[in-house]
Amino acid sequence: MKETLKDVIIFLDTDKHVSPFDLLVVTENFPDVQIFYYSQVEPSDAKGLIQDAMFPRGSKGAAHTKIFIGGYDIDKAEEILKIAKATMFPPFELAVIVDPRGANTTASAMVAKVFENLSKKKLGGFSGKKVTILGGTGPVGQVCAKIMALEGADVFITSRNIEKAKTTAEKLNAEVKANRVHGLQVSSPDEAQKAVGDSEIILATGAAGAQLLPLSILKEHAKRCKVVADVNAVPPYGIEGLNPKDDRVEISPGVFGVGALSIGALKNEVEVKLIGKALESPKGIFDYKVAYEIAKSLIKWPESMVL
């Protein structure tokens, strides 16, 4: 075997098609890395694929072989990660990047940008604040909820279905070993008003092209709100009046907004650095916690604000 070993990233994606976004990020920023990819990967497929990646280049080659777990189904991605951890053993341990449909890097960037807005306006940190995440049962909303719960916020995730909201909240609380995430139903303007009524931070993490918060509700019913953020860059935007390019823009008296493209610019930086970190490491799990640390470093997060 040659002394100089090529770095390889093997994408295991749960969707019908592997995301071109992630493939292009690697191609553009790490042109010497070899890419292999598999789509429609089920948890039952994971053990065999990971074993076949562990051994063919020997223990030295394993240090240069990386797994990237992707796909929209965050539950399947987490199950594949569990199987990967159980399958690998010394000296055949691979570095594993976990970013299902960009949820970990996007959520990390979103939370970091929200804190940056709080900090710049001298509005304090997350601890003790009420956060409402509209459309919060999706991949990005779930990761935002976990991060903010770990930061000490009281988090309310919304769904049109109350059972889905409550079940998701229970799952997230179990993962972060806290009881800070709560489920709410929002399927009407009246329910939206109640959900944001005393929120200090409001995030919109719903589907593209779906408005979740009219400006009238923000102005008239969210009297305690300080910062809003939205990941939807397709009109109509998730929060009315918040432009995708906005960053620290006052969209309502005393309410500062972060738009999707501002979040996306940081997300892209986070993903590049997350992949780079994995490529430099012979083993390890590179998940939302690592992505969040990277996001904080990129906005020069104060040392006192740590998970």
Domain CATH for 140: 3.40.50.720
Residue 82 and residue 152 share a domain: no
Residue 181 and residue 130 share a domain: yes
CA distance 56 to 210: 47
Between CA 220 and CA 251, with CA 155 as vertex, the angle to 5 degrees is 35
Number of domains composing the chain: 2
Residue 138 resides in a domain? yes
Residue 188: pLDDT over 90: yes
- Predicted confidence band of residue 57 (pLDDT cuts 50, 70, 90): very high
Residue 304: pLDDT over 70: no
Residue 87 and residue 145 share a domain: no
Residue 1: pLDDT over 60: no
Residue 134 and residue 49 share a domain: no
Residue 216: pLDDT over 70: yes
- Predicted confidence band of residue 203 (pLDDT cuts 50, 70, 90): very high
Residue 236 and residue 282 share a domain: no
- Range of the structural domain that residue 72 is part of: 8-102+266-298
The set of residues, in sequence order, having a beta carbon less than 8 Å from that of 145 and lying 6+ positions away, is: 133, 136, 155, 157, 169, 172, 181
- Its pTM stands at 0.94
Q: Which amino acid is at 167?
A: T
Residue 162 and residue 74 share a domain: no
* Burial (CB count <10 Å: 0-12, 13-18, 19+), residue 48: exposed
Residue 1 resides in a domain? no
Residue 203 and residue 144 share a domain: yes
Residue 37's CB is within 10 A of a number of other CB atoms, namely: 17
DSSP 170-226: HHHHHHHTSS-EEEEE--SHHHHHHHHTT-SEEEE---TT---B-HHHHHHH-TT--
CATH number of the domain that residue 20 is part of: 3.40.50.10280
Question: Residue 156, SS3?
Answer: strand
- For tokens 């070899």, the residue is 34
CA distance 16 to 18: 7
Residue 306 resides in a domain? no
At residue 300, the pLDDT reads 66
